[in-house]
Amino acid sequence: MPGTAPYRSTARAQVAALRSGTTSARALLDQVLAHHARVNPSLNAVVTLDAAGARAAAEKADEYLARTGRPLGPLHGLPITVKDSLETRGMRTTCGSPELSDHVPGTDADAVALLRQAGAVIIGKTNVPALCRDIQTSNPLFGKTNNPYSPDHTAGGSSGGPCVAVATGLSAAEVGSDLAGSLRLPAAYCGVYALRTSRGAAPVVPTRGHIPRPPGWLTGSDMLALGPIARTADDLDLLLDVLAAPAPADRVAWSIDLPAPSKRSLGQYRVGLWADDAFCRVDAATRDLMGQVARTVREAGADLDETTRPVDFAESNLLFERLMYATSAAAADDEVFAAEVAAADTVTDDAPSALYLRSRTMRHRDWARADEDRQRLRVKWADYFTTHDVLITPAAPTAAVLDQTSVPPQDRYITVDGEKRGFFDQTSWVNLASPVGLPALVMPTGQTGEGLPLALQIIGPYLSDRTVIAMATLLAEVLPAAPTAPAPTA
């Protein structure tokens, strides 16, 4: 990025400058903090700033490099923020909840510990909806995070603060969390790259220390995945090298060695393109984007399948919802859960709350059978990827929708080509990969007539995280770039 301020360059470029001595960790941090003072007040992306702690960490990095001639690690001196749902030692971690307004963890979440071990300088925490329970980013403690392209449109959620911070140069990169598209949806709306990493019996990126599981819990959701957010696909790979690791207790015997992509050029790939579907129609701008993707991939010589349908969209989405509601019940208050059990016993089949209540309170036998359905769905995907290397889909039905944080949840909706649709239709496309733990990457490309970024999703087979990153890198060379996020001043 010629002419770009150092803190707006790629994370990999910043690390290279720090290692070579072109800049120091302290000098780079001071630039970021000055940028933060100008930009963050109008965005409200970073809600807790630890300038003193960051300066101490940066000075330690500079001293270590001067004394030993070696970097602290692959992220030596890199200034980054951390999503406020990940516990961070010595730094207030609230997950946007008033009940946790004074929570200062004594230990790091496993993913945060990996960042520190790699030499990253953690400067603060980024905003989330309360307990990550919304696909917009606003909470009673800190208020709303603004989309940098348009304050009238949502930044998405729950990783809205992280995605805005990366998009506007407040952070070199970030780690987000994704259960129901909480990582990929805001990435699509904010014009950045994000990767939901593979998840099988265990996640590729350890999840202990993620809230809304209560602070101190050792277990997490069986559907939650963490992953990197960055301004380029290459930077996703840089962070993946750091984050892909077993939980600490398993490291005496396990290691994670994700395979390299097997193909080098776009023309070598067998590509499925699922451009639209009656279950979740996309708008005209997104259809045009998918058409452009098809032409570009075909012209590159790739084997393109435009009739591809790996699974039944509706069945997959229903299974996802059942499993999501079930896992969310684990941390419910006893009285709340007892009331839900009572309500589930009397709710009628046609009631709007029936799916939610029955899924939240399902018996273990019912969950085991739903899990069997999940494993069968995984087999279908695995079979699909014997004849396809990747699947490209829309990231969402539209670009960023209008913000509705002030609208009661039951009254929220989105509009697709003039048609009112359910509010959570926003997440349907990203939720294709969620129940089966496949790696799924969102990349920005192109824009709407209003200047909002558009995005596509790349899904790959289990543990092919590096392949979907490689595919994004190749596509970025031939597809139009998304507009750069403006950096408003206070």
**Known active-site residue 101:** no
CA separation for the pair 133, 123 (Å, rounded): 25
Q: Which one of 150, 158, 171, 316 is the catalytic residue? A: 158
CA separation for the pair 131, 85 (Å, rounded): 7
pTM of the shown model:
0.97
Torsional sign, CA 327, 217, 236, 157: positive
Sequence letter at residue 374:
R
- pLDDT, tens digit (0-9, with 9 covering 90-100), for 290-329: 999 999 999 999 999 999 899 999 999 999 999 999 999 9
On the question of pLDDT at 202 being above 90, the answer is no
pLDDT band of 490, cuts 50, 70, 90: low
In a domain, 126, yes or no: yes
Spatial contact of 130 and 96, defined as CB atoms under 8 Å apart: yes
On the question of pLDDT at 479 being above 70, the answer is yes
In a domain, 180, yes or no: yes
pLDDT at 2: 41
Percent of the chain past pLDDT 90, that is, above it, reads 95
Q: How far is CA 239 from CA 9, 32, 228, 264, 373, in A?
A: 15, 19, 6, 21, 33
Q: Which one of 150, 159, 177, 182 is the catalytic residue? A: 182
**Known active-site residue 83:** yes
pLDDT band of 201, cuts 50, 70, 90: confident
In sequence order, what are the beta bridge partners of 46? 126
Nearest residue to 172 (alpha-carbon basis) of 105, 109, 124: 124
Q: What is the CATH number of the domain that holds 25?
A: 3.90.1300.10
In a domain, 71, yes or no: yes
Q: Domain range holding 260?
A: 6-266+472-476
Phi, psi dihedral angles at 6 (to 5 degrees): -50, -40
Percent of the chain past pLDDT 70, that is, above it, reads 98
pLDDT band of 461, cuts 50, 70, 90: very high
CA separation for the pair 193, 378 (Å, rounded): 25
Q: Is 323 helix (H, G, I), strand (E, B) or coil?
A: helix
- Tell me the residue ranges of DSSP E strands in 253-292: 270-273
Spatial contact of 140 and 94, defined as CB atoms under 8 Å apart: no
- pLDDT, tens digit (0-9, with 9 covering 90-100), for 336-393: 999 999 999 999 999 999 999 999 999 999 999 999 999 999 999 999 999 999 999 9
Spatial contact of 233 and 476, defined as CB atoms under 8 Å apart: yes
pLDDT at 111: 97
In a domain, 230, yes or no: yes
DSSP state of 91: B
Sequence letter at residue 357:
L
Tokens of 229: 């957010």
CA separation for the pair 344, 64 (Å, rounded): 59
Angle, helices 465-476 vs 284-299, to 10°: value is: 90
- pLDDT, tens digit (0-9, with 9 covering 90-100), for 125-135: 999 999 999 99
In sequence order, what are the beta bridge partners of 442? 194, 457
- pLDDT, tens digit (0-9, with 9 covering 90-100), for 138-161: 999 999 999 999 999 999 999 999
In a domain, 361, yes or no: no
On the question of pLDDT at 1 being above 50, the answer is no
Nearest residue to 135 (alpha-carbon basis) of 150, 153, 149: 153
Q: Under 8 Å CB-to-CB from 220, ≥6 apart: which residues?
A: 207, 208, 210, 213
pLDDT at 63: 98
CA separation for the pair 63, 318 (Å, rounded): 54
- pLDDT, tens digit (0-9, with 9 covering 90-100), for 215-231: 999 998 999 999 999 99
Tokens of 371: 């899990």
Q: Which one of 9, 24, 83, 150 is the catalytic residue? A: 83
On the question of pLDDT at 489 being above 70, the answer is no
In a domain, 246, yes or no: yes
- pLDDT, tens digit (0-9, with 9 covering 90-100), for 178-200: 999 999 999 999 999 999 999 99
In a domain, 423, yes or no: no
What average pLDDT does the structure give for the chain? 96
The count of structural domains within the chain is: 1
CA separation for the pair 132, 470 (Å, rounded): 30
In a domain, 94, yes or no: yes
pLDDT at 171: 98
Nearest residue to 179 (alpha-carbon basis) of 138, 123, 214, 131: 131
- pLDDT, tens digit (0-9, with 9 covering 90-100), for 37-63: 999 999 999 999 999 999 999 999 999
pLDDT at 486: 85
**Known active-site residue 150:** no
